[in-house]
Structure 1
């Protein structure tokens, strides 16, 4: 069908952004709010957003006036009688959404498509409450809607043939990239992103590494736009907690249970940027640089990163009686330490990318050796991340389960590889999607890393996905693209 007039119910930051997106694309928009005060706030959101775009040269004054002129604001849902599509952006409370959709079902013409912008709630439950379940769909925009290019189009088992394609085509009209997904809690982005963030909180609780170390490892080592704790503070810890509860309610996977640390912070009202304090405080004191005292070093085993030459060029010298011994390794590091006459000097070394060095201390590593290793990595031009001698250290322990989840998602028929990759690139700003990452990391490396994680933690979700295991067994190095 041809979509020309669209209703948007709920004009908070997200709803107002969605209204602006449709109006920018030339569609007529009817925005609905509960009362005059909320309506005025919604108008303010759109006016400020378009004014910022005009100030930046993204819109002319005339274009801005045209966009605002296409938006009609009202407090009456009855004004949505003749629209072609309604999209709701009210708070994430299922009962409220069901009640709204029942009302919209009564008001709107039979061919109108009713869409929910929910980020994690079941679209099927909303559709089943109406008399037109085949014309109810999920259309999940990302904040800020005028800027973010991704829309998750969520179909249910009762979505009528053609509706998904119609909504995906409409998303293209809006200048967005549509990814088609099934109706599972969290869809693609939140289903992959939030367990990773929750897992980071678990590693912090377990003392595997510090907050700053984990953020540095994922931002500098993996190339993600933000570390997990900075991102949690931006999202809002309460929002993350709520999404994890929705995931856990559906899957009963213990990895989806919100971490106790996350629960404590939310209970204390430390919600991140919105409250001024979360994993990070309002004003972090500046870090005093540590003074280096290291003079000598040794490298145990192959120097796969050429660090010895870099350190010698900086004035340090190898020694038979060194301040610290570096061993380039996966783990367990302790197995290498106990071969030395003085195991307290050995620190495991895992270089991630070209910017981060994970330094794994064992139960026997001395504080002096650990500090010396940090000093040496700074001299070598790497950011040191101290961690415990645990499977995956930091980056692999967080990255590999995320990749495994993506493989399981694809193997279930829930979404295509291309859509999963596009969702994570566009929805999270990742440098590559999970299947692209699997391609350059190598399937065998990820499979073997997952086996090590499973052997240590005995977490069922860490066992390699059967499809991943089969491809490695068959000698395939990357996922075949159809």
Structure 2
């Protein structure tokens, strides 16, 4: 089918961005809003977005004028009679969407495709409000739509099979990468991203580490664009809460139940950037304690040589009677501490990404030793991340379950490895997809790390996915790709 005239219903930030994307690709666009004020706001979104592109040298003034000239704005849905495709971008309320689709089904010509931009609601339930369920599909853009390169193309069991490649080709015409998936809550990106963010809130609530330390660990150590709490504030805590609720309703997996801390913040209307405060706010940073006077250290255990040399180069001295004992360790640090004459001096250390040092204090570690370890890492150029002595510390406790979820998703046949990797790179801005990350770390390392997390937390989702376990047992180091 040739898509030449498209319509976008709902011109908030996302809908206006989608309208701009279509117009940039040369298509005629009809933008629809509920009233004149909302329409003016939508027009402002498009005008400001395209002007920013001109200011940054990405569009010429003439190109901007041509884009704006392709967009017609209206408050009447009746103007959509001749549209080839209608994309819905109204608020994420199922009843609203079903009502809109029933109206569009009445107005639009029979061959018109009706697409929803929902990020998590069931496309099947939206399609059921129409008499053209084979012509209804999900077309999930990411915010900001003119910039983000991914579109999730979501089909239901009733979607005409020929429609998926048609919409995928349209997405490519828009300069986007399409990922075709079925109608499961969260699709690919939100189904993998939101449980990770939710788990970060759970670990914060459990006191594993502080908010800023968790953010630093995932941003600097793992290389993600933002830490989980900064990202939650950007997304909106209410949006994250709603998506987690949809996931839990479908899976009944307790790990998909919104974290109590997330629920409390939403109830208090602390929603992130949109409200001025969420996990982050305008609160003053606590005053850093005075620098410790640590001079001597001891480094014990496998993998100690590199850190020892860095500390020596920085002027610190190894000693048999040190101020602090550092031990590179993945196992519970307390098991090593209790063997010492003075266990209060021991701090576990693990370097992540050559930029972060996770510092695990045991129940016996003194505050002086913990402070000394932090200062030593700072001097040698590592960002210290203080955490409790728990399996996986911070980074592995958040990263490995996410990788495990991706393996389970692939193993069910829901999406291909290439599509899952592309979705997370393009939809979240991750430096690598989950399978690329897993193979870089090592399948056996991740499998063993998941086993340790499962033994610690007894969370069923932490048990290694059967496919991962089987590949490691077979001595295979990469996932099979068609």
Please say whether Structure 1 and Structure 2 have the same fold, judged by a TM-score greater than 0.5. Answer: yes
Whole-Å Cα distance in 2 between the matches of residues 182 and 451 of structure 1?
30
What's the offset of the Cα at 1:299?
A: 1.0
Whole-Å Cα distance in 2 between the matches of residues 37 and 167 of structure 1?
32
Whole-Å Cα distance in 1 between the matches of residues 233 and 42 of structure 2?
25
Whole-Å Cα distance in 1 between the matches of residues 416 and 84 of structure 2?
29
What's the offset of the Cα at 1:184?
A: 0.8
Whole-Å Cα distance in 1 between the matches of residues 381 and 55 of structure 2?
41
**Count of aligned residue pairs for this structure pair:** 482
> Which residue matches 2:43?
43
Q: Retained in 1: the 8 A contact 2:120–2:186? A: yes
Q: For residues 211-262 of structure 1, what are the alpha-carbon distances to aligned partners after superposition, in whole Å with 9 as ceiling and x for unaligned?
A: 0110110000000011101111111111111111111111111111111111
> Which residue matches 2:248?
248
- In the TM superposition, 1:9-408 aligns within 5 A as 9-285=9-285, 287-288=287-288, 290-304=290-304, 306-408=306-408
What's the offset of the Cα at 1:130?
A: 1.1
Deviates more, 1:289-298 or 1:35-44: 289-298
What's the offset of the Cα at 1:289?
A: 6.5
What's the offset of the Cα at 1:402?
A: 0.2
Q: For residues 396-421 of structure 1, what are the alpha-carbon distances to aligned partners after superposition, in whole Å with 9 as ceiling and x for unaligned?
A: 00000000000011111111111111
What's the offset of the Cα at 1:304?
A: 4.1
What's the offset of the Cα at 1:286?
A: 7.2
Q: For residues 329-388 of structure 1, what are the alpha-carbon distances to aligned partners after superposition, in whole Å with 9 as ceiling and x for unaligned?
A: 102111111111111111111110100011111111111111111111112211111111
For structure 2, the residue ranges without an aligned partner over 5 or more in a row are none
Whole-Å Cα distance in 1 between the matches of residues 288 and 449 of structure 2?
36
Q: 3-state DSSP class of the match of 1:327?
A: strand
Instruction: Give the TM-score normalised by the residue count of structure 1.
Output: 0.98
Q: 3-state DSSP class of the match of 1:105?
A: helix
Q: 3-state DSSP class of the match of 2:439?
A: helix
Q: 3-state DSSP class of the match of 1:306?
A: helix
What's the offset of the Cα at 1:309?
A: 1.1
Task: Tell me how large the CA RMSD over aligned residues is.
Answer: 1.1
Whole-Å Cα distance in 2 between the matches of residues 234 and 290 of structure 1?
33
> Which residue matches 1:479?
479
Whole-Å Cα distance in 2 between the matches of residues 341 and 73 of structure 1?
77
Q: Retained in 1: the 8 A contact 2:299–2:327? A: yes
Q: Retained in 1: the 8 A contact 2:304–2:327? A: no
Q: Which runs of 4+ in 1 moved over 3 A?
A: 283-290
For structure 1, the residue ranges without an aligned partner over 5 or more in a row are none
> Which residue matches 1:422?
422
